[in-house]
C-alpha cells in the first residue's frame, strides 16, 4: 500500500467523456467499501460529458470510527496512481504534476484519440505518440502501459473493466481482487463481459503485455496498390541510387495499373532527366519518384471508378463493418462529379468550348449527385463503364492539363537544380500541395501557382539572394498548409519580399 | 433522460439505521425527503441536474410522501414556485445552476425575500465555479447579500451537507427567510456516506391538501407600502433571528486548538482544500486535526459578528480563505473587527488571488505567505512543494517540446446540430462571414474548431435578442442560433416575440433536438410524451406562427444541402422581419439509447435489421482532411496510410459511427471528394435479400468484377521501362 494510516492512497483517473471513467471510479469506490475501507470519490465530468477530457479523483483510507477529511482535488506531486485512457490526456495529467517519478504508478493505455486540431491539419498534424508514452514513463515511478484496448477486445470486456483489473493487479491499492469482482457484480450491468475484462486486466498487470508497437487507430488498411512482395528489380534500375528504387517501383506499378506501359515509360523518361545529376541523391530521386507518380496518377472520374471497382475493397469493408457471417454488406458510393470533372473527359478543344459555354450560361455550379451501389449489378455496371474509359484518357482535356502542369513543375525543378540542389528539393516537395478533389484540388493548384510565380520564378531569375531560395520555398509551403483560406501563405510571401527589400519585389 | 436512477431511488427509501452511500447531490435529495418537503422544483443544469432527475423517475415515492414535483420551464418559474411558502406552512425546495440560474430567478427571488416565508424555503444552487465550469465566473454570494437571503456553503462531506439541508429549513422558518445552499462541482459529485433518517411527510401536501386559501393579508405581498415594512423587518427581526439560530445550532464549526496567535477563517466549501495544504505543511492530517485554530463558515451569509470577534480576539492575525471575488466575507470581517476595536491583522486577498479557483497550489502559495509572515517555518514545506510542482511542469514541458493541443468538448458522434454548422460553414465560404449570435447549449460547441463561429453569447435563450441592434445597424442580416431548450426557457418571449414586435430583420435557427441535452437530456415542453418523460409535444412551428412569424421553414438537420439553401434563402429573402429555420433532428444520444437496445433485440430475435455506417476509401482519400474541417465528428478521424506513395494519414470512420449520414451529405454538399461510402449491413437477410444479392454477385462476376473470396491473386505489374 502506498498510503499509510495517516495518509490516503490517492487515485486520479483521466478519461474522455463517454469512455466509462465514471463507472470505473464507481467500481473502485464500491470495492473499497466492500473491503471495509473509507473512500471518497469525486469528478469533473467535463462540459459535454461526452467527448471532452474528464477526471475522476479518489482517496482511500483504512476504515475507522473517525470521519476523515479527504481532499476533493488531486494535489500535484501527491498522486499515488494515475490511470489514463488516452496518451495525450495522460501526458497532460503528467505535465500538471499528477504523476511524479518519486511516487506515481501510471496505468496507461497505448492509444490515441486525436484532437480536432490534429485531425483537421491539411497534412499530418498528429503528435508523436512515442514521445507521449516516453513522457509517461519518464515522469512516473512505475509505468504499466499497454495496448489495453486490444486486451479489452480480446477479452470481450470494456476498457474500463480491463483498467480495473490492471489496478487490482498492480497492488497499489489495498483492495483484494474479490472486492473488485463483487463491485462489478453489484453494478449489475454487462457483468459477465466486465468480469472477463477485469480478469484480462489482472493478467496484464501480472504478466505484462507484449511490447507491441504503437497501434494507431486500427491496423493500416491493405491497399490494392501497396508494393507486392519482392518486386523484381530490372538490371538497369541499378543505375539509380538503391534507396530510390523501392519508390520508383511503387510508382511504376501505380502507373501501370492506372494507364498502360507507355505511361510507365513516360514516368521513367521523366525520372531519367534527373537521375545521376549533381545534387540528385537517393532521397531526392525517391521523393521525386513518389510525387511524380502521384501527380501522373491524377484522380479523374475514370480513376475513381477504377479504385472503387477494386475487389479488395469489399473484404476490407466487411472486416471493418463487423458484419457477421450471413449478413449482406452493401457499399453505397457517394460521388458528385461537377461539370469540370465530366467535361474534362472530352478532348481538349471540345472540352474547352463546352466549359466556356457552361460558364456563360452560369451552369458551372451544376453537378450530379450519384449514390452508386458498387456491390449491386446496376452500380457495378456504371463504375465499370467509367473505368473502361481508361484507354480514352490520354485524349482528354484533363490529361492534357495535368501533363502540362507536370512539365512546368519538372522544369522548375530542373532549373532550380542548376542553382541550388537544396532549393530544388523544396521545389520537388511543392507538388505535395496539389491533392484532393474539387475545391481542395483547386486550392492546392492555386497555392502551388502562387509560390511558383512569386518565389520560384523570381529566384530562378536571380531576384532572390541565393541563400534564401530553399528556405523561402519551404516556409511558403508550410504556410500554405496552415489554413485553407491561404492567409498565412500571403503573409509569408509579403514578409519575405519585405525582408529582401522593396526594390526587389517581384511582380505579381 | 440520460441515466436510470433505479439504484438511487432505492437509496432514497432508506430510513433510520441505514447507511446511505452516494453522491453529494443525491444526499441533498435524500435530505429533502428527510426534511418533509411538500414540493420540489427547479431547472436542470450541471452540477445539480440529478437532484430533479432522480425525483422525476421516483413517481411512486413522491406519491407516497405527497410531494408535488415541478420541472420548471426556467429558474424564474422555479423561484416563483417558492411563493407557496409565503402564505402556507409548507416546506419547499428548488434547484438550479448558479450564477446563471440565479440571474434568471433574480426578480422572483427579490420579491420572495421581501415578503418572507413561513414554510421553510431552500434553494440548492450548483456553484459552477473553477475547473469544469461552463458559465461566466461570478459568485452567488452577491445575491445573498443584496436580497437578504441566507447562504449555506457546507463542508463538502455528506453528513455536513445533509445536516445543512435539514438545518437550512429550520433556519428559514426561524428567520422567515429563504435560504440558499451552494455546492461546488466536486461537492455535488463527491461520493460518501451518511447515516440516514426516515423520510418525513409534510403535514400539508399533495396528499393532504390545504382546504382553504390563506386569508387576505396585505403584509404578505411584495407591494408598497408594505415593502418598506418588509425592508425594515429584514434588518430588525429576520437578520438577528438568523444569527441567533446559526449561533445556537453551531452551524459554523471550529477546528484546531482553542487558542493560538494566528487563525484561519474559511468558507465551508473550501475547507478540504485548506486541510490538504495544512497537512502538506505538517499542520494537519487526513482526519482534520488542525494545529491552527480555524473557523469554518458553513453559513457565509450572514456572518455572526460575535463568533468572529470571539475567534479573532487575542490573535495577532487571521487569514480569510474566500474563493473568488469580490471579497464580500473578508470585507465584512474587517468591518466587524474594526467596530469591535480589535487590532487583529486581517489577511485574505493580499496573499490569495481575487480571481480564479482556489486549487491546492493557489491555496498553498497564499497559506505559505501568511505563515511565513508570522514566523511559522512550516511555510518552507509548502514552498518546497510548490517549487517542485513548478520544476516538474517545466521539465515535462521541455521534454514535450511543444504545448499539448487542447481538447475542448465537441458535438457527440452523429449529433444533429453538427450538420447545421457544416451548412453554415459552407455558406460562409460561399457568401462571406455573417454575424452569428450564439447561445447556451450543446450548439455552443460550434465556437470551437473546426467551426469556430459565434460573435457573442449573452445567456440562455438570448441569442436572438442579442442580435436585435446588430440587425438594425449592419448591412447583412445577423444569424442567431438557439436550442429548443433555450427557446422554451427564454427565447420565445425575449427573442421571438421581441423580434416580431420590433420588426427586426434577423434569421433564427432553432435546433429542435427534443431535449435539453447539454444538461443530461431532460424533457422540454416540446419533447414527445414517453413512459417516464414529461414531454407534452408543444409545437414550436405553430407557436412561432401564432406569434406572427411568417417565414418559418423546417429542415431535417442532416440535409446539409437543403439547409445551406434554406439559410441562403433566409439571408437573401426580400421580405423584412424575422425568418426562422427549425432544424429538426433528435438528440443522437437519446436516440441511440433507445434505438441500440431495440435493434440488438430485433437482431437477436432473427428479425431483418439494416445497420448503416460510413466508410472512407483509403485509396481514394488524398489526406487533405477537408471533410474533417467540415465535421469534427469524433468518429471521423485519421489513421496511417498504407500507400507508400501517399504517406500522409488518411481519413477514417471508426466503429463508433452511428450512420447519421453527415459524411455523405457533406461530401455531396461541398463536392468534397468521392472517398465516402455508406455501408449497409443487412442483418438476418430475407430469402429475397439473399436472392437479389446472389444474382448481383453472379452478374458482376460474369463481367469479371468482385472476385469471390478468397481473393484472386493480383496480376503482376508490367515491367517498368528503365531509364536511359
Cβ-defined contact of B682 to A328 (cutoff 8 Å): yes
The answer for B 584-643 residues in CB contact with A (under 8 A) is: 589, 613, 615, 617-620, 622-626, 628-629, 632, 634, 636-643
Torsion of CA B272, B278, B281, B283, to 10 degrees: -130
Residue of A nearest to B23 (CA): A42
Confidence of residue B719 (pLDDT cuts 50, 70, 90): very low
Decide if B520 touches A, using CB distance below 8 A.
yes
pLDDT above 70: residue B713: no
Interface contact B696-A376, CB threshold 8 A: yes
At residue B675, the 3 state secondary structure works out as coil
| pLDDT for residue B724 is more than 60 | no
Distance from CA of A199 to the nearest CA of B (A): 25
> Is residue A16 a part of any domain in this protein?
yes
CB contact B716 to A (< 8 Å) = yes
pLDDT in tens, B431-460: 999 999 999 999 999 999 999 999 999 999
Contact assignment for A71 to B272 by CB distance below 8 Å: yes
Residue at which a domain ends, from A151, A177, A212: A212
pLDDT at B3: 66
Q: How many CB atoms lie within 10 A of CB A101?
A: 13
Q: Which of residues 71-130 of B touch A (CB under 8 A)?
A: none
Parallel, antiparallel or unpaired: strands A105-109 and A142-146: parallel
Distance from the Cα of B692 to chain A's closest Cα (Å) equals 9
pLDDT band of A504, cuts 50, 70, 90: low
Q: Which of A86, A73, A20 is nearest to A49 (CA)?
A: A20
- Phi-psi category of residue B391: left, alpha or beta, with phi > 0 → left and psi -120 to 50 → alpha: alpha
Tell me what the mean pLDDT of segment A441-465 comes to: 94
Q: Would the pLDDT of B715 be above 60?
A: no
Contact indicator for B463, B499 with CB cutoff of 8 Å: no
Whole-angstrom distance, CA of residue A342 vs CA of residue A359: 14
**Which pairing describes strands B92-98 and B39-42: parallel, antiparallel, or unpaired?**
parallel
**Chain B residue whose CA is closest to A385:** B703
What confidence score (pLDDT) does residue A213 get? 37
- Quote the minimal CA–CA distance from A425 to chain B in Å: 17
Which residues of chain B does A322 touch, with a Cβ-Cβ cutoff of 8 Å? 655
Residue A221 domain flag = no
Residue A505 pLDDT level (bands cut at 50, 70, 90): low
What are the E-state strand segments in B576-710? 579-584, 609-616, 636-639, 650-653, 676-683
| Subunit contact A228:B714, Cβ cutoff 8 A | yes
B693 Cβ partners below 8 Å, 6+ apart? A328, A375, B685
Nearest CA in chain B to A66: B287
Rounded to the nearest angstrom, the minimum Cα separation between B91 and chain A is 30
How many angstroms separate the CA atoms of A295 and A292, rounded? 5
Contact B671 A329 (CB under 8 A): no
Residues A28 and A150 in one domain: yes
Pair A391, A402 in one domain: no
Average pLDDT over residues B264-290: 97
Element of type H or E holding A182: helix A177-187
Contact B317, B346 (CB under 8 A): yes
The residue out of A149, A182, A212 marking a domain boundary is: A212
3-state secondary structure B106-136: HHHHHHHHHHCCCCCEEEEEEECCCCCCCCC
Taking residues B643-659, what's their average pLDDT? 93
Q: In chain B, which residue's Cα lies nearest the Cα of A72? A: B186
pLDDT (mean) for B315-326: 97
**pLDDT score at B173:** 98
Distances (CA, A) of B7 to B10, B330, B475, B654, B691: 5, 43, 57, 33, 49
Alpha-carbon B193 to chain mean position: 25
Residue B324 in contact with partner chain A when CB distance is under 8 A: no
Q: Between A312 and A498, whose confidence is greater?
A: A498
Task: State whether A321 and B406 contact (CB < 8 Å).
Answer: no
* Whether B718 and A261 lie within 8 Å, measured CB to CB: yes
State whether A309 and A409 are in the same domain: no
The three grid cell numbers given for residue B9, joined into one nine-digit string: 431511488
A320 chain-B contacts, CB cut-off 8 A: 615, 655, 679
Q: What is the mean pLDDT of residues B462-476?
A: 96
Residue A396 scores a pLDDT above 60: yes
Does A97 sit within 8 Å of B392, measured CB to CB?
A: yes
Q: Is residue A458 part of a domain?
A: yes
Looking at A41-55, A272-286, A362-376, B28-42, which range is the least confident one? A41-55
Q: How many CB atoms lie within 10 A of CB B617?
A: 23
Q: Is B418-590 a CATH 3.40.50.970 domain?
A: yes
Q: How far is B644 from chain A (nearest CA, A)?
A: 7
For residue A503, the model assigns a pLDDT of: 58
- Report pLDDT for B239: 98
Would you kindly state where each structural domain of chain B is located, as residue ranges? 15-195+218-248, 253-400, 418-590, 608-722
Q: Which of B201, B199, B179, B183 is nearest to B39 (CA)?
A: B201
- B15-195+218-248 matches B253-400 in fold: yes
pLDDT of residue A4 exceeding 80, the answer is: no
Question: B402 to chain A: nearest residue by CA?
Answer: A127
Determine contact, residues B549/B580, Cβ cutoff 8 Å. Answer: yes
**pLDDT per position as a tens digit, B569-616:** 999 999 999 999 999 999 998 999 899 999 999 999 999 999 999 999
Residues 6+ away with beta carbon under 8 Å from B489: B43, B73, B74, B104, B460, B461
Cβ–Cβ gap A139/B287 under 8 Å: no
**Residue A215: is its pLDDT beyond 90?**
no
**B688 interfacial to chain A (CB closer than 8 Å):** no
Q: How far apart are CA A417 and CA A422, in angstroms?
A: 8
pLDDT at residue number B706: 62
- Read off the pLDDT band of B723 (50, 70, 90): very low
Residue A47: strand, helix, or coil: coil
Tally Cβ neighbours within 10 Å of residue A271: 24
Contact B667 A118 (CB under 8 A): no
How many Å is the maximal CA-CA distance in chain B? 110
Residues A136 and A188 in one domain: yes
Task: Inform me whether the pLDDT recorded for A49 exceeds 60.
Answer: no
* Cβ B548 vs Cβ B522: under 8 Å: no
pLDDT band at A45 (very low <50, low <70, confident <90, very high): confident
Mean residue pLDDT across chain A? 88
- Residues A485, A403, single domain; the answer is yes
The mean pLDDT of chain B is 93
Question: Does position A226 have pLDDT exceeding 50, yes or no?
Answer: no
Shortest Cα distance, chain B CAs vs residue A177, angstroms: 21
C-alpha cell at A85: 485512457
Q: b/e map of A12-30 (b: 16 or more CB within 10 Å)?
A: bbbbbbbbbbbbbbbbbbb
The dihedral through the CA atoms of B67, B71, B73, B76 has a sign that is positive
- What is each CA distance from A204 to A32, A107, A198, in whole angstroms? 22, 11, 10
Mutation site for B-interface testing, chosen from A18, A51, A263, A314 by largest number of B Cβ within 10 Å: A51
**pLDDT computed for residue A229 by the predictor:** 42
Residues A147 and A239 in one domain: no
Residue A74's Cβ-count burial label (10 Å; 0-12, 13-18, 19+) is: buried
Give the integer Cα–Cα distance in Å for A266 and A410. Answer: 13
Eight-state DSSP code of residue B711: P
B2-to-A27, A411, B52, B593 alpha-carbon distances in Å: 20, 63, 13, 8
B205 sits in which H/E element:
none
Nearest-Cα distance to chain A for B244, in Å, is 28
Hey, are the CB atoms on A330 and B625 less than 8 Å from each other?
Answer: no
Q: Which residue of B has its CA nearest to A136?
A: B396
pLDDT range class, residue A239, cuts 50, 70, 90 = low
Give the closest-approach CA distance of B653 to chain A in angstroms. Answer: 10
B409 touches chain A (CB under 8 A): yes
Exposure class string for B144-159: b at 16+ Cβ within 10 A, else e? bbebbbbbbbbbbbbb
Phi-psi region of B341 (alpha: psi -120 to 50; beta: other; left: phi over 0): left
Nearest chain A residue (CA) to B621:
A436
Q: Are residues A56 and A178 in the same domain?
A: yes
Give the closest residue to B116 by CA, choosing from B224, B237, B20. Answer: B237
pLDDT exceeds 50 at position A222:
no
Residue of B nearest to A232 (CA): B719
Residue A261: partners with Cβ closer than 8 Å, 6 or more residues away: B718, B721
Angstrom distance (rounded) from CA A101 to CA A71:
22
Which pLDDT band, with edges at 50, 70 and 90, does B655 fall under? Answer: confident
Residues with Cβ within 8 Å of B80's Cβ and at least 6 positions away in sequence, in order, are: B108, B112
**B337 and B309 Cβ atoms separated by less than 8 Å:** yes
Query: A68 and A124, same structural domain?
Result: yes
Q: Smallest CA–CA separation between B82 and chain A, in Å?
A: 29
Q: CB atoms < 10 A from the CB of B211, how many?
A: 6
Name A27's Cβ contacts closer than 8 Å, sequence gap at least 6: A160, A164, A180, A183, A184, A187
Q: Pick from A52, A77, A239: which is nearest to B724 by CB? A: A239
8 Å CB contact of B410 and A48: yes
Q: Does A189 share its domain with A76?
A: yes
> Can you give A343-387 as a three-state secondary structure string?
HCCCEHHHHHHHHHHHHHCCCCCCCCCEEEECCCHHHHHHHHHHH
pLDDT at B1: 56
Instruction: State the average pLDDT over residues B2-23.
Output: 89
The tens digit of pLDDT for each residue in B81-108 reads 999 999 999 999 999 999 999 999 999 9
Q: How far apart are CA B179 and CA B113, in angstroms?
A: 9
Residues within 8 A of A (CB atoms), B 554-573 only: none
Tell me if A317 is assigned to some domain.
yes
Chain A nearest C-alpha distance from B387 (Å)? 11
Least confident of A285-299, A360-374, B395-409: A360-374
Burial A226-242 (b: 16+ CB within 10 A, else e): bbeeebeeeeebeebbe
DSSP string of B39-99, one letter each residue: EEEE---TTTHHHHHHHHT-HHHHHHHT-EEEE-SSHHHHHHHTTHHHHSS--EEEEEEET
The answer to whether the Cβ–Cβ distance between A294 and B646 falls below 8 Å is: yes
Q: What is the pLDDT of residues A142-187, one digit of tens each?
A: 999 999 999 999 999 999 999 999 999 999 999 999 999 999 999 8
Instruction: Note whether B671 contacts A: Cβ–Cβ < 8 A.
Output: yes
Residue B393 has pLDDT above 70, yes or no: yes
Q: Which CATH class is domain B253-400?
A: alpha beta
Task: Work out the pLDDT band at B717, boundaries 50, 70, 90.
Answer: very low
pLDDT at residue B720 is higher than 60: no
On chain B, the residues whose CB falls within 8 A of the CB of A334 are 663-664, 667-668, 674, 676-678
The reported pLDDT for the residue numbered B712 is 34
Domain B15-195+218-248: top CATH class: alpha beta
Alpha-carbon dihedral angle through residues A193, A196, A200, A203, given to the nearest 10 degrees: 160
Q: What is the mean pLDDT of residues B10-26?
A: 95
Domain-ending residue, one of A395, A423, A442 = A395
Whether pLDDT at A209 is above 60: no
Average pLDDT over residues A113-132: 93
Torsion, CA B349, CA B351, CA B355, CA B359, rounded to 10: -130
Name every chain A residue with its beta carbon within 8 A of the beta carbon of B613. 321
Beta strands B636-639; B650-653: pairing state: antiparallel
Residues A405 and A341 reside in one and the same domain: no
Tell me what pLDDT residue B710 has: 36
Residue-number span of the structural domain to which A367 is assigned: 302-395
**Predicted-complex ipTM score:** 0.93
Least confident of B31-45, B231-245, B477-491, B530-544: B530-544
CB contact under 8 A, B655 and A320: yes
CA B428/CA B270 separation, integer angstroms:
47
CA B61 to chain centre: 27
Has residue B566 got a pLDDT over 90? Answer: yes
Task: Answer whether A436 sits within 8 Å of B613, measured CB to CB.
Answer: no
| CA distances (Å), origin A329, targets A197, A204, B699 | 30, 36, 17
Q: How confident is the model at residue A228 (pLDDT cuts 50, 70, 90)?
A: very low
> Given pLDDT bands bounded at 50, 70 and 90, which one contains residue A5?
low
* Residue B119 pLDDT: 98
The count of residues in chain B is 724
User: Taking the alpha carbons of A65, A67, A73, A76 in that order, is the dihedral positive or negative?
Assistant: negative
Of A124, A254, A438, the CB nearest to B672: A438
| Residue B127 grid cell | 456553484
pLDDT recorded at residue A432: 95
Do both A350 and A377 map to the same domain? yes
Domain count, chain A: 4
Residue A1, pLDDT above cutoff 60: no
pLDDT for position A502: 59
Amino acid at each position: 500500500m502506498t498510503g499509510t494510516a495517516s495518509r490516503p492512497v490517492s487515485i486520479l483517473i483521466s478519461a474522455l467523456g463517454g469512455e466509462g471513467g465514471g463507472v470505473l471510479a464507481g467500481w473502485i469506490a464500491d470495492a473499497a467499501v466492500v473491503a471495509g475501507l473509507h473512500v471518497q470519490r469525486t469528478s469533473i465530468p467535463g462540459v459535454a460529458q461526452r467527448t471532452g477530457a474528464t477526471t475522476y479523483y479518489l482517496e482511500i483510507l483504512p476504515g475507522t470510527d473517525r470521519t476523515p477529511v479527504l481532499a476533493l482535488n488531486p494535489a500535484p506531486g501527491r498522486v499515488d496512481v494515475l490511470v489514463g485512457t488516452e496518451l495525450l490526456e495522460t501526458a497532460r495529467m503528467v505535465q500538471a504534476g499528477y504523476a511524479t517519478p518519486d511516487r506515481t504508478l501510471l496505468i496507461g493505455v497505448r492509444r490515441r484519440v486525436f484532437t480536432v486540431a490534429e485531425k483537421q491539419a491539411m497534412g499530418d498534424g498528429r503528435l508523436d505518440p512515442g514521445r507521449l508514452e516516453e513522457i509517461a514513463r519518464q515522469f512516473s515511478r512505475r509505468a504499466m502501459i499497454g495496448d489495453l484496448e486490444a486486451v479489452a477486445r480480446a477479452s470481450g470486456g470494456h476498457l474500463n473493466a480491463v483498467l480495473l483489473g490492471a489496478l487490482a493487479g498492480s497492488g497499489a491499492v489495498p483492495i483484494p481482487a474479490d472486492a473488485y469482482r463483487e463491485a462489478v457484480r453489484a453494478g449489475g450491468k454487462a457483468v459477465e463481459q466486465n468480469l472477463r475484462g477485469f480478469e484480462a486486466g489482472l493478467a496484464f498487470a501480472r504478466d505484462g503485455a507484449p511490447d507491441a508497437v504503437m497501434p494507431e487507430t486500427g491496423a493500416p488498411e491493405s491497399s490494392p496498390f501497396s508494393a507486392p512482395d519482392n518486386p523484381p528489380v530490372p538490371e538497369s534500375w541499378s543505375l539509380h541510387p538503391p534507396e530510390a528504387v523501392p519508390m520508383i517501383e511503387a510508382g511504376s506499378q501505380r502507373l501501370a495499373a492506372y494507364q498502360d506501359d507507355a505511361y510507365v515509360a513516360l514516368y521513367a523518361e521523366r525520372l531519367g532527366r534527373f537521375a545521376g545529376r549533381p545534387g540528385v541523391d537517393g532521397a531526392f530521386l525517391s521523393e521525386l519518384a513518389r510525387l511524380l507518380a502521384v501527380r501522373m496518377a491524377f484522380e479523374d472520374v475514370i480513376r475513381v471508378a477504377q479504385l472503387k471497382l477494386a475487389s479488395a475493397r469489399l473484404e476490407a469493408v466487411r472486416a471493418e463493418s463487423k458484419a457477421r457471417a450471413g449478413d449482406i454488406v452493401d457499399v453505397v458510393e457517394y460521388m458528385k462529379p461537377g461539370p469540370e470533372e465530366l467535361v474534362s473527359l472530352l478532348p481538349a478543344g471540345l472540352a474547352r468550348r463546352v466549359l466556356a459555354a457552361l460558364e456563360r450560361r452560369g451552369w458551372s455550379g451544376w453537378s450530379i449527385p450519384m449514390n452508386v451501389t458498387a456491390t449491386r449489378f446496376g452500380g457495378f455496371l456504371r463504375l465499370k463503364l467509367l473505368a473502361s474509359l481508361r484507354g480514352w484518357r490520354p485524349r482528354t482535356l484533363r490529361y492534357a492539363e495535368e501533363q502540362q502542369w507536370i512539365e512546368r513543375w519538372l522544369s522548375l525543378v530542373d532549373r532550380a537544380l542548376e542553382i541550388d540542389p537544396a532549393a530544388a528539393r523544396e521545389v520537388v516537395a511543392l507538388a505535395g500541395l496539389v491533392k484532393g478533389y474539387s475545391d481542395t484540388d483547386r486550392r492546392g493548384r492555386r497555392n502551388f501557382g502562387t509560390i511558383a510565380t512569386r518565389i520560384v520564378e523570381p529566384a530562378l531569375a536571380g531576384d532572390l539572394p541565393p541563400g534564401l531560395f530553399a528556405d523561402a520555398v519551404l516556409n511558403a509551403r508550410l504556410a500554405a498548409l496552415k489554413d485553407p483560406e491561404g492567409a498565412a501563405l500571403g503573409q509569408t510571401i509579403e514578409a519575405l519580399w519585405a525582408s529582401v527589400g522593396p526594390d526587389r519585389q517581384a511582380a505579381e | 433522460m440520460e441515466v436510470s436512477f433505479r439504484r438511487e431511488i432505492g437509496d432514497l427509501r432508506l430510513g433510520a439505521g441505514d447507511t446511505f452511500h452516494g453522491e453529494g447531490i443525491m444526499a441533498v435529495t435524500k435530505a429533502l425527503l428527510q426534511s418533509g418537503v411538500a414540493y420540489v422544483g427547479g431547472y436542470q443544469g450541471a452540477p445539480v441536474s440529478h437532484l430533479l432527475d432522480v425525483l422525476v423517475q421516483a413517481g411512486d415515492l413522491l406519491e407516497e410522501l405527497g410531494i408535488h414535483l415541478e420541472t420548471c420551464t426556467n429558474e424564474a418559474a422555479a423561484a416563483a414556485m417558492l411563493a407557496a411558502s409565503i402564505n402556507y406552512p409548507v416546506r419547499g425546495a428548488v434547484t438550479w445552476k448558479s450564477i446563471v440560474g440565479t440571474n434568471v430567478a433574480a426578480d422572483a427571488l427579490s420579491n420572495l425575500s421581501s415578503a418572507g416565508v413561513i414554510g421553510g424555503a431552500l434553494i440548492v444552487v450548483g456553484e459552477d465555479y473553477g475547473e469544469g465550469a461552463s458559465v461566466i465566473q461570478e459568485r452567488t454570494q452577491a445575491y445573498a447579500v443584496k436580497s437578504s437571503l441566507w447562504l449555506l456553503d457546507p463542508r463538502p462531506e455528506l453528513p455536513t451537507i445533509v445536516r445543512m439541508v435539514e438545518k437550512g429549513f429550520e433556519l428559514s422558518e426561524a428567520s422567515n427567510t429563504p435560504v440558499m445552499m451552494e455546492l461546488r462541482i466536486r461537492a455535488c459529485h463527491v461520493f460518501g456516506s451518511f447515516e440516514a433518517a426516515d423520510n418525513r411527510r409534510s403535514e400539508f401536501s399533495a396528499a393532504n391538501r390545504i382546504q382553504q386559501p390563506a386569508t387576505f393579508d396585505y403584509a404578505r405581498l411584495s407591494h408598497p407600502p408594505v415593502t418598506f415594512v418588509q425592508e425594515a423587518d429584514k434588518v430588525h427581526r429576520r437578520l438577528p433571528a438568523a444569527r441567533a439560530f446559526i449561533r445556537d445550532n453551531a452551524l459554523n464549526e471550529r477546528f484546531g486548538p482553542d487558542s493560538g496567535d494566528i487563525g484561519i477563517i474559511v468558507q465551508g466549501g473550501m475547507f478540504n482544500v485548506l486541510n490538504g495544504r495544512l497537512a502538506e505543511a505538517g499542520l494537519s492530517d487526513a482526519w482534520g486535526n488542525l494545529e491552527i485554530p480555524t473557523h469554518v463558515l458553513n453559513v457565509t451569509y450572514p456572518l455572526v459578528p460575535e463568533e468572529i470577534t470571539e475567534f479573532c480576539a487575542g490573535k495577532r492575525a487571521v487569514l480569510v480563505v474566500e474563493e473568488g471575488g469580490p471579497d464580500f466575507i473578508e470585507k465584512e470581517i474587517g468591518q466587524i473587527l474594526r467596530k469591535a476595536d480589535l487590532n487583529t491583522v486581517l489577511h485574505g486577498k493580499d496573499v490569495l488571488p481575487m480571481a480564479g479557483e482556489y486549487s491546492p497550489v493557489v491555496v498553498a502559495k497564499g497559506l505559505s505567505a501568511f505563515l511565513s509572515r508570522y514566523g511559522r517555518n512550516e511555510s518552507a514545506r509548502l514552498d518546497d512543494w510548490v517549487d517542485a510542482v513548478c520544476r516538474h511542469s517545466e521539465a515535462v514541458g521541455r521534454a514535450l517540446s511543444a504545448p499539448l493541443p487542447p481538447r475542448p468538448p465537441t458535438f457527440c458522434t452523429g449529433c444533429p446540430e453538427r450538420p447545421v454548422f457544416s451548412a453554415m460553414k459552407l455558406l460562409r465560404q460561399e457568401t462571406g462571414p455573417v454575424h452569428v449570435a450564439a447561445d447556451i447549449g450543446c450548439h455552443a460547441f460550434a465556437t470551437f474548431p473546426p467551426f469556430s463561429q459565434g460573435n457573442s453569447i449573452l445567456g440562455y435563450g438570448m441569442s436572438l435578442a442579442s442580435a436585435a441592434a446588430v440587425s438594425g445597424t449592419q448591412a447583412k442580416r445577423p444569424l442567431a442560433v438557439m436550442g429548443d431548450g433555450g427557446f422554451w426557457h427564454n427565447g420565445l418571449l425575449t427573442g421571438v416575440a421581441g423580434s416580431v414586435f420590433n420588426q427586426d430583420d434577423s434569421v433564427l435557427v432553432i435546433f429542435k433536438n427534443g431535449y435539453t441535452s447539454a444538461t443530461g437530456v431532460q424533457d422540454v415542453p416540446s419533447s414527445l410524451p414517453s413512459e417516464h418523460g414529461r414531454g407534452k409535444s408543444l409545437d414550436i412551428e405553430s407557436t412561432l406562427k401564432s406569434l406572427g412569424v411568417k417565414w418559418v421553414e423546417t429542415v431535417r438537420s442532416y440535409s446539409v444541402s437543403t439547409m445551406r439553401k434554406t439559410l441562403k434563402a433566409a439571408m437573401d429573402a426580400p421580405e423584412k422581419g424575422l425568418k426562422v429555420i427549425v432544424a429538426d433532428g433528435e438528440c443522437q444520444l437519446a436516440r441511440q439509447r433507445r434505438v441500440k437496445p431495440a435493434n440488438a433485440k430485433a437482431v437477436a430475435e432473427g428479425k431483418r435489421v439494416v445497420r448503416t455506417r460510413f466508410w472512407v476509401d483509403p485509396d481514394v482519400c488524398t489526406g487533405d482532411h477537408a471533410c474533417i474541417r467540415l465535421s469534427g465528428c469524433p468518429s471521423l478521424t485519421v489513421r496511417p496510410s498504407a500507400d507508400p506513395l501517399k504517406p500522409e494519414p488518411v481519413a477514417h470512420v471508426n466503429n463508433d459511427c452511428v450512420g447519421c449520414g453527415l459524411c455523405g451529405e457533406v461530401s455531396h454538399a461541398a463536392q468534397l471528394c468521392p472517398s465516402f461510402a455508406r455501408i449497409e449491413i443487412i442483418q438476418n437477410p430475407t430469402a429475397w435479400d439473399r436472392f437479389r444479392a446472389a444474382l448481383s454477385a453472379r452478374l458482376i462476376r460474369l463481367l469479371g468484377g468482385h472476385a469471390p473470396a478468397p481473393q484472386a491473386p493480383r496480376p503482376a505489374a508490367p515491367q517498368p521501362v528503365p531509364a536511359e
